[in-house]
Amino acid sequence: MERAFGLERLIFFSDAVFAIAITLLAIELRVPEIVETANDAIASQTLWLAIAAEWPRLLAFALSFYIIGAFWIAHHRYFRYIKSYDEGLIRLNLVWLFFVVLLSFTTAILGEYGNLQIAIVLYALNLICAGLAGEALWYHATHARRLVDAALDGRFIRRLQARTLTMLLASLIVIGLTFFIDDYASFGWLLIFVFQGLVERHYRRAGMFK
């Protein structure tokens, strides 16, 4: 009883951090300042162009919204099977949240300087750290069935791992891409969608997830 409640608090605290991190992303979307003219039609067009020029920030916002959402879904899935907790779980969870929170910073850098290699690499490294922390938590919980049901299927455990691994893989590919194509390397993030789609499809085929 007491155990369950402690675990619940851990989960709600995490939910709150994920929710705030995902919502704060919008703060980086800045209202452009335009020189207002007497003619509203011209001013309206000027504003449109100014907002359209924000597309790198909007893309970075959408990408990070997707990624934090995906991390939250992973967290959600892990904790459906985690039945108890220990110090290690609390710590690894905080490490994971640390890198999720840091994403708001690297997202802002990516939105501002998405054409520069360092911005893409930092974002990718942040993603990799967050992904590894998530994997470490899942490993800690499932190794020797420490914090999960002893009967939990081993294939199942590996499949939940696979999903986060797609993010790590896509990040490594994107980092590689930045050495060849500067301005378009960011499109490599689309691989996450492709990879996750493939994993999803695999799950569905195997009939292990609805």
Residues near a copy of itself, by CB under 8 A:
2, 5-6, 9-13, 15-27, 29, 31, 34, 40-41, 43-45, 47-48, 51, 62, 65, 69, 72-73, 76, 79-80, 86-87, 90, 94, 97-98, 101-102, 104-105, 108-109, 112-113, 115-119, 122, 182-183, 200, 209-210
Minimum distance of a copy of itself from residue 127's CB (angstroms): 15
**Residue among 112 and 136 whose Cβ is closer to a copy of itself:** 112
DSSP letter assigned to residue 86: -
Lookup result for tokens 């003619």 = 39
Comparing CA positions, the residue from 168, 171, 145 lying closest to residue 157 is: 145
**Residue among 70 and 128 whose Cβ is closer to a copy of itself:** 70
Q: CA distances (Å), 86 to each of 35, 83, 91, 99, 137, in order?
A: 58, 11, 9, 21, 11
Question: What does the buried/exposed string (b/e) look like for 33-49 if buried means 16 or more CB atoms within 10 Å of the residue's CB?
Answer: eeeeeeeeeeeeebeee
**Residue among 10 and 169 whose Cβ is closer to a copy of itself:** 10
Minimum distance of a copy of itself from residue 111's CB (angstroms): 8
**Residue among 53 and 118 whose Cβ is closer to a copy of itself:** 118
Minimum distance of a copy of itself from residue 95's CB (angstroms): 9
Q: How far apart are CA 125 and CA 197, in angstroms?
A: 22
The token duo for 29 is 């979307």
Q: How far apart are CA 178 and CA 187, in angstroms?
A: 10
**Residue among 12 and 158 whose Cβ is closer to a copy of itself:** 12
DSSP letter assigned to residue 32: P
Q: How far apart are CA 10 and CA 14, in angstroms?
A: 6
Minimum distance of a copy of itself from residue 57's CB (angstroms): 10
Minimum distance of a copy of itself from residue 158's CB (angstroms): 19
